[in-house]
Structure 1
Amino acid sequence: MHFFLLLILQVTAAFGQIDPAHCRYALGMEDGRIRDDDITASSQWHETTGPQYARLNHEEGDGAWCPKGQLEPSDSQYLQVDLGRLTFVTVVGTQGRFARNSGNEFARWYRLNYSRDGQMWKSWKNRLGNAVMEGNKNAYASVINDLHPPIISRYIRLIPVIKLSPTVCMRVELYGCPWDDGLLSYGAPEGQLMMPPGYPIASLNDSTYDGGHERRRLFGGLGQLTDGVTGLDDFLLTRQYHVWPGYDYLGWRNDSLETQGHVEMEFVFDRQRNFTSMKVHSNNMFSCGVKIFSSVTCWFKPRLIAGWEAEPVAFKTVLDDRNPSARYVTVPLNRRSATMLRCHFFFADVWMMFSEISFQSEDILLPTQMPLMVTSPQNDGDSTISPTLTTAVNPSSSHANTPILIGCLVTIILLLVIIIFLILWCQHVCKVLEKAPRRILDEEVTVRLSSCSDTIILQTPPVPPRTPTGPANTDPHYERVFLLDPQYQNPAALRNKLPELSQSAEASACGGGYAEPDVTQCTPHQCFHSNAPHYAETDIVRLQGVTGSNMYAVPALTVDSLTRKDISAAEFPPQQLIFREKLGEGQFGEVHLCEAEGLQAFLGEGSPLPDRDSCSVLVAVKQLRADATSQARNDFLKEIKIMSRLNDPNIIRLLCVCVASDPLCMVTEYMENGDLNMFLSQREIESTLTHANNIPSVSLSDLLHMSVQISSGMTYLASLNFVHRDLATRNCLLDRRLTIKISDFGMSRNLYSSDYYRIQGRAVLPIRWMAWESILLGKFTTASDVWAFGVTLWEIFTLCKEQPYSLLSDEQVIENTGEFFRNQGRQIFLYTPPLCPPSLFELMMRCWNRDIPERPTFEGLYKALRPHVIQ
């Protein structure tokens, strides 16, 4: 029995951690689980446009909720939804008033306010501090907005933001799952700055905390410790997009005034709970002085107005100085009952960093074994009943005791039935979890592609009581079949391992439009080289180059010779390079921003640099580290040889080299406006509103011109049989005149680490930009670059506001790649960007054609895009 009770407790604990990637169930606006009485509003135009009609995909009444009167920009009219309990809200879906083609009112923008108690309201902001979300472009299509960070709340208010039309109407659905943790707020010292020598500054603050700040302490709110995102092993790397190093962690230094040897944290819950354990995700990068806590002591308060109980729970951690991986530390809390906890976490080194804290508790006390009690016969004249433990029953009293015995037996049988049911249920849950990735793809996410206004729609099954989750990128239920196999570099071995790839993929790789169709028994070498001169070597490890950035793939014959005479770039005196800033780094090399003194005069009249009055010029310098291996040195010289061959207005230029002595360097152009991703993400589409408020903006013509320039540069690379393998907006740089030059620095920069998927430490791959054959077969060609170009176009026309396939985790992107291979109509495409003309999105779809020969060439793409700019 004790074994079964332990099993029940372990199953319960497994449900305690929220994973935002799975917590995406409709909360009941559309299906009616949220009652009309729970939907209120600040006002309504008529009874037929009351808040009860604000249900997604419903057109009862007059079709939606509409606030009263013509709204002004200063108005704060709202639609309020009571979810009935604390909820982890991850997605908001909105529609306008269509009313069977008789309405045309919708909210172009809106804000969110939320409250956990109905009294104190907070304003939601995204991770970059923006509070306004884009709404609808028409009255009928639904728009899905992911909440980054998610909201933990019971009450949600949607507040239309008026910029253009004063008339708005809304229909709404909210997505998420129950917040069973029950945590209302946590308090802690503010996070601190870490300045490790030779590394970027890490800001370890809680940037999404929604409570108060006073005397360097956080109080009364929730933030990054409850957003479901666990930090990486290297705390300088982040899972988020466009954030700073250390973003995922809240961290403190041992000798600061706020800590003094330990960190005190307080946790307030929605009600009194019986706590079984606390899970703390902690960093353990001991090479930088960071370790998990050495011990923790927790005190308990049964009620908020009561005092702290005298007896704490203490737990000593087993420290690990061999494995630097971040991990969850589970602290047993011995089923102590409390509404509030105060815990002291003691340092084991200079720094301590947390990314997630969760609690497991029992809502109902589990039954315990009790002795069987029977009643002895009553004596005449004795009015008292004396219960005694008996081993035999007197025949004269057997009739009276029979109901009691039957009741005890029935109770035991029921307990056994319950235990058997729980075991079977656990087995069923395990089977369901094994099928989780496919179920998510097949049932939960659908994409409409019919017009520019179509967006990603979520279709969800009924909400289960809870969803088993785990920390990101460690979910054991995802089978990373394709990328983590040690034989990945040998496509033939991969096809042998995966029977479904053995025939169809062989035909695709060997025939594929680049070899003769009747060649179906070729070897892997023939598959990549026969009749296909623009196929590149499939060396995945060297995909990232020496500095961590992409090294162009070229036919093998072009890099066989490595003599100095093969490098056309001139030797520049290294003492004339003044280092200003590190831009990025890889395993054996670094990229620096430098001033090159006298470079203009050194290059002479044929210099590609613009005329400048100053004697120094800003340049980007790739430098090989002193501890680099001989293989890395050879690869670096290969990269220099490749770069020295490139000469096109839309390709980054190699200006000169420093290879006469160590450290080896290559000097390239530096673009003042940075990369295209950062440039576009900081701008809005040009309008009267952006002009009036001096908001940085770009026009549709600018976006088309950028697209043409990228296609022109890629046409040049394709003409040389070069395969880039990492084409994306992060690798497109802009100068002062907004001329785009394609580069390869993106992979070396921490800012874009979340764009790459690491394969067991061997390589990192930009899987969200890669064609299906590149992921499944290790096949990189000009056609796979065309696929990446289509994704790059999608980035441009979304103004780089989100990652491609942002609704999917990395594992789900890989699973979706398998759907492209199977070609059964289940694959998920990127949605149509609102700014994108239909003809241009059709061009993107052609770039993502499953059949490799059907994809356009870069020359064809350039010819198709060029007329748009001329017009």
Structure 2
Amino acid sequence: MMLLLLLVFQAKTNAQVDPAHCRYPLGMEDGRIKDHDITASSQWYETTGPQFGRLNREEGDGAWCPAGLLEPAVKQYLQIDLGQLTFLTVVGTQGRYAQNLGNEFARMYRLNYSHDGLLWRSWKNRLGNQTVKANDNAYTSRINDLHPPIITRYLRVIPVSQVSPTVCMRVELYGCPWSDGLISYSSPEGQQMLPPWFPFASLNDSTYDGVNEGRKMSGGLGQLTDGVIGQDDFLVTRQYLMWQGYDYVGWKNGSLSSDYVEMEFVFDKQRNFTSMKVHSNNMFHRGVKIFSSVSCSFKPHLLANWEAEPVEFHTVLDDRNPSARYVTVPLGSRTAKALRCRFHFADVWMMFSEISFLSADTVIPTQITPVVTSGFSNDESFMPTTHNTDKLHTITCPFCSPGIQTPLATSPTTIDLPDNRHTPVLIGCLVTIILLLVVIIFLILWCQYVCKVLEKAPRRILEEVTVRLSSSSDTVILQTPPVPPRVSQMDPPYERIFLLDPQYQDPAALRNKLPELSQSAEASACGGGYAEPDVTQCTPHQCFQNSVPHYAETDIVSLQGVTGSNMYAVPALTVDSLTRKDISVAEFPRQRLFFREKLGEGQFGEVHLCEAEGLPEFLGEGAPLPDRDGRPVLVAVKQLRADATNNARNDFLKEIKIMSRLNDPNIIQLLCVCVSSDPLCMVTEYMENGDLNMFLSQREMESNLTQANNIPSVSLSDLLHMSVQISSGMRYLASLNFVHRDLATRNCLLDRRLTIKIADFGMSRNLYSSDYYRIQGRAVLPIRWMAWESILLGKFTMASDVWAFGVTLWEIFTLCKEQPYSLLSDEQVIENTGEFFRNQGRQIFLFPPPLCPPSLFELMMRCWDRDIADRPTFEGLYQALRPHVVQ
């Protein structure tokens, strides 16, 4: 039965793609894209052919160079066959350097793409511009994000010039496989929402690359497959300088010829569909709801008729929560190459931002019929040939070594023998086949057993990936080093460490899992200076228990507060003293708070953006409020829900008391509270310029080009000034023995003067949900910013905040264009922390940002020191950074 199931085995894939994580090199540089897959319109010489157009490579004469001068009217191109449909997010280019012998490069280029190599389309960005800025010299690479990304198999890179120079190019492409398989969708054209009954919003599919005739879009892909998820408020966009409603495609009830929106989806091959996921807006107070029901019909082939029995699904409408959400539509494992779905309205408007499919390729087993040949010589192998009555299926074991193929007889074998002389040979062959089947079954069972063991095993070694920075490029290069020698039997056994494991609360049990951990912790406790008792007299076990400072909260679940914001870890004695004091901020009349939008939420509370009427007069002179010219002040309001538990209520009051102690120019301040009646609220500052991550990601480094074109930019001095402010705020928290535990650019807010205030509610915001790793549904952790001891031990100290500060500096000097460790999955990031602990030289560090001075990157590396005691303090960091800022 198991072997029979393997005949149709195919790994199912979730086609939802996150452009922020889909940034893997596709193989130009490392050779996975073969020479015959790279062609060109022309070449100057054989040594400048298209096969030499690989980023950071110097083979041949160093690059691809088209023949002749690049005339503005002549279209030359480098064409790359990716071998499969690919979600393309980034393009990197270089000129011809040829070890300082060449100086040809392209200053601009365009992109054409095709699914089949026949029909070509031109890429354009969200503003309609087809030209991409390329290089300024022959050796430095330039990395360009594609907004929107491209779904394609074939790509042409077309250099562009206003004059007639000689150009040469080297290229790398970044993305990931487009496992969804969707090659086009058709739908009615998106419509406009108009006043006075509704706010203005343009809900058209502005990046659709198909045909639009008679207000019907067909034959292309667009915003519904670009990986950008719309927000709860459809008027707010994730894209910079885009119009209201840009992230959604929407239709109005009654504006179409039917009471539903009909969409057709065409795929690259016949697939077995499990489900469809539709991200829908549900802002019902503006007349927008998810669809009430959907019916999907299936077509096995493009020329076939639609099957008579559709799949129907009725949604459960929600009139309490206005949040946008994914609606999963089960498709009953139906097989088809095309789908037609009719989405029925539930209100005036229906809006989608993403549609994806969960499916598996339909596998049709290949039938092979064996026959025994009339005779064999001593050196001949037994090779079955075709016979009409015998069928043998060849399958591949997905759990075993590559290349192991198993013959599986699916029907009784009747073989006509021309002569009884060959009966012994036939019997021997049959016995061999039976023995082979037994061996394969044993291997499959053994592989399954090994897989189960590996799930428990500690130390699943990462694919050994090292990150280096090319001397002539700012491109990150991934290399796979030789396989290390097998670990000897003397090496200690490792077991995978699972977060929230009970062993984290029991150091003795934890030492059994990682023997070196106890030695390291004992050394840290007895010599690191972090334990309060007289550690010189303690036993090793006592030293280990005392190694956690008294202000560290080892219960990792408590990282997230009741409103979804992180909770500061504070000295135990300070918390006790706070509970005996009255709240030091005033009670604000809650009727003066006017809701504007929801910023985030947690298990028992929410964070709202509100206007506070009369707040400057209420707080008096000296209040840390921006100048609003008499307008209501924007504030962030954390509110406890009515269904909160007593523990959540106590934690909320504790958070108020902790926040009331903070008073620093670079820390978000608690302004007032509403605790005289339910729901309990705390009111904190909020900056109109938003968070630092969003601010920097929408800017470029200051240059003549940005100034001439009025492009939002920042200077190196601005970045250093931001770094100093963050270190100053963290220095203040450290002086109170407060541990932030979630320091990152998303938790740093800016005012108009670029003054930074460190906040604490980035964890609650859906915008940054991909920055957090959910553990067993109970806690979310910013693992890409966390020190190894925080992930492995649940140990949060000021030293772990220093680690996060180093990652925050890295974000700043990459202009937040990339997530830390973006080439590693969450699980690989956790594995990497184990390498930091083992300290055997296999840990992966963040690469130096191109904008970062070397001395500053050395400071970051000190923040990521494996030994806690060797990391700098925030006072030291402040003093090191401050001289670099122009006063």
TM-score range, shorter chain: 0.7 to 0.9
> What displacement does 1:809 show?
2.0
> What displacement does 1:693 show?
1.1
Matching residue within 789, 795, 798 for 1:779: 795
> What displacement does 1:457 show?
0.9
> Counterpart in 2 of 1:470?
none
> What displacement does 1:788 show?
1.0
Residue 117 (structure 1) aligned with residue 116 (structure 2): yes
Per-residue deviation, residues 633-685 of structure 1 (Å, max 9, x unmatched) = 22222222222222221112222223333333322223232211111111111
**Unmatched 5+ stretches in structure 2:** 194-198, 318-324, 373-387, 391-411, 483-494
Residue 756 (structure 1) aligned with residue 772 (structure 2): yes
Residue 795 (structure 1) aligned with residue 811 (structure 2): yes
> Counterpart in 2 of 1:341?
338
Per-residue deviation, residues 82-102 of structure 1 (Å, max 9, x unmatched) = 345655656655444231232
CA contact (8 A) 2:731 2:874 kept: yes
Q: 1:480 to 1:583 in 2, by over 3 A?
A: farther
Per-residue deviation, residues 685-704 of structure 1 (Å, max 9, x unmatched) = 11111111111111111111
Structure 1: distance between partners of 2:146 and 2:108: 15
Structure 1: distance between partners of 2:185 and 2:29: 30
Residue 282 (structure 1) aligned with residue 280 (structure 2): no
> Counterpart in 1 of 2:466?
446
Residue 812 (structure 1) aligned with residue 828 (structure 2): yes
Matching residue within 541, 548, 567 for 1:528: 548
Paired positions, count:
806
> What displacement does 1:828 show?
1.5
CA contact (8 A) 2:72 2:164 kept: no
Matching residue within 677, 690, 695 for 1:679: 695
TM-score, normalised with respect to structure 1: 0.77
> What displacement does 1:49 show?
3.2
Within a 5 Å distance, the mapping from 1:172-251 to structure 2 comes to 172-174=171-173, 183-188=182-187, 210-213=209-212, 218-222=217-221
Structure 2: distance between partners of 1:418 and 1:190: 57
CA contact (8 A) 1:292 1:352 kept: no
Structure 1: distance between partners of 2:579 and 2:423: 97
Structure 2: distance between partners of 1:71 and 1:345: 50
Matching residue within 560, 564, 583 for 1:544: 560
Give the fraction of aligned pairs with identical amino acids, expressed as a percent.
65
Report the AA paired with residue 793 of structure 1: L
Residue 630 (structure 1) aligned with residue 612 (structure 2): no
> What displacement does 1:302 show?
5.8
SS in 1 for 2:835: helix
Structure 2: distance between partners of 1:101 and 1:285: 54
Per-residue deviation, residues 749-806 of structure 1 (Å, max 9, x unmatched) = 2222222222223222111111111111111111111111111111111111121112
Matching residue within 808, 811, 825 for 2:841: 825
SS in 1 for 2:300: strand
SS in 2 for 1:570: coil
Matching residue within 849, 855, 864 for 2:871: 855
SS in 2 for 1:722: coil
> What displacement does 1:449 show?
5.0
Structure 2: distance between partners of 1:867 and 1:798: 21
CA contact (8 A) 2:185 2:265 kept: yes
Report the AA paired with residue 186 of structure 1: Y
Structure 2: distance between partners of 1:399 and 1:620: 90
Within a 5 Å distance, the mapping from 1:352-367 to structure 2 comes to 355-357=355-357, 359-362=359-362, 365-367=365-367
Structure 2: distance between partners of 1:216 and 1:504: 68
Q: 1:99 to 1:222 in 2, by over 3 A?
A: same
Within a 5 Å distance, the mapping from 1:155-554 to structure 2 comes to 155-160=154-159, 169-174=168-173, 183-188=182-187, 210-213=209-212, 218-222=217-221, 264-269=262-267, 275=270, 277-282=272-277, 296-301=296-301, 303=303, 308-309=304-305, 312=308, 329=330, 331-333=332-334, 340-344=337-341, 355-357=355-357, 359-362=359-362, 365-367=365-367, 399=418, 424=443, 441-443=462-464, 445-449=465-469, 453-459=473-479, 481-483=497-499, 485=501, 488=504, 494-499=510-515, 501-505=517-521, 507-508=523-524, 511-515=527-531, 518=536, 520-522=540-542, 526-529=546-549, 535-554=551-570
Per-residue deviation, residues 253-309 of structure 1 (Å, max 9, x unmatched) = 997776968765434455xx6x46223243799999879978643233464xxxx34
Residue 840 (structure 1) aligned with residue 840 (structure 2): no
Moved more, 596-605 or 805-814: 596-605
Structure 1: distance between partners of 2:273 and 2:162: 46
> Counterpart in 1 of 2:152?
153
Moved more, 164-173 or 554-563: 164-173
Residue 734 (structure 1) aligned with residue 732 (structure 2): no
Within a 5 Å distance, the mapping from 1:538-577 to structure 2 comes to 538-561=554-577, 565-577=581-593
CA contact (8 A) 2:70 2:161 kept: yes
Residue 656 (structure 1) aligned with residue 676 (structure 2): no
SS in 2 for 1:100: coil
> Counterpart in 2 of 1:475?
none
> What displacement does 1:148 show?
7.8
Q: 1:412 to 1:187 in 2, by over 3 A?
A: farther
> Counterpart in 2 of 1:869?
885
Structure 1: distance between partners of 2:629 and 2:184: 58
Report the AA paired with residue 459 of structure 1: Q
Per-residue deviation, residues 525-560 of structure 1 (Å, max 9, x unmatched) = 63323xxx6x43233233222321122221011122
TM-score, normalised with respect to structure 2: 0.75
Residue 620 (structure 1) aligned with residue 618 (structure 2): no
CA contact (8 A) 2:192 2:202 kept: yes
Determine which structure has greater relative contact order: mean sequence separation of CA pairs < 8 Å that are 6+ residues apart, divided by chain length.
1
Q: What is the root-mean-square deviation in Å for CA atoms of aligned residues?
A: 5.3
> What displacement does 1:134 show?
7.5
Within a 5 Å distance, the mapping from 1:694-733 to structure 2 comes to 694-733=710-749
Q: 1:861 to 1:818 in 2, by over 3 A?
A: same
Matching residue within 778, 783, 798 for 1:767: 783
Per-residue deviation, residues 201-256 of structure 1 (Å, max 9, x unmatched) = 999997875434556654212467777x7999x9999xx99799xx9999999977
Q: 1:161 to 1:774 in 2, by over 3 A?
A: farther
Structure 1: distance between partners of 2:530 and 2:73: 61
> What displacement does 1:184 show?
3.4
Q: 1:446 to 1:190 in 2, by over 3 A?
A: farther
Report the AA paired with residue 116 of structure 1: H
Structure 2: distance between partners of 1:358 and 1:152: 17
Structure 1: distance between partners of 2:557 and 2:664: 28
Report the AA paired with residue 831 of structure 2: E
Report the AA paired with residue 12 of structure 1: Q
Structure 1: distance between partners of 2:846 and 2:663: 33
> What displacement does 1:119 show?
3.7
Per-residue deviation, residues 734-761 of structure 1 (Å, max 9, x unmatched) = 1122111111121222222222222223
CA contact (8 A) 2:14 2:180 kept: yes
**Unmatched 5+ stretches in structure 1:** 195-199, 373-386, 463-478
SS in 1 for 2:530: coil
Q: 1:24 to 1:585 in 2, by over 3 A?
A: closer
CA contact (8 A) 2:29 2:57 kept: no
Q: 1:589 to 1:399 in 2, by over 3 A?
A: closer
Per-residue deviation, residues 546-585 of structure 1 (Å, max 9, x unmatched) = 3211222210111224568532222333333333333333
SS in 2 for 1:521: helix
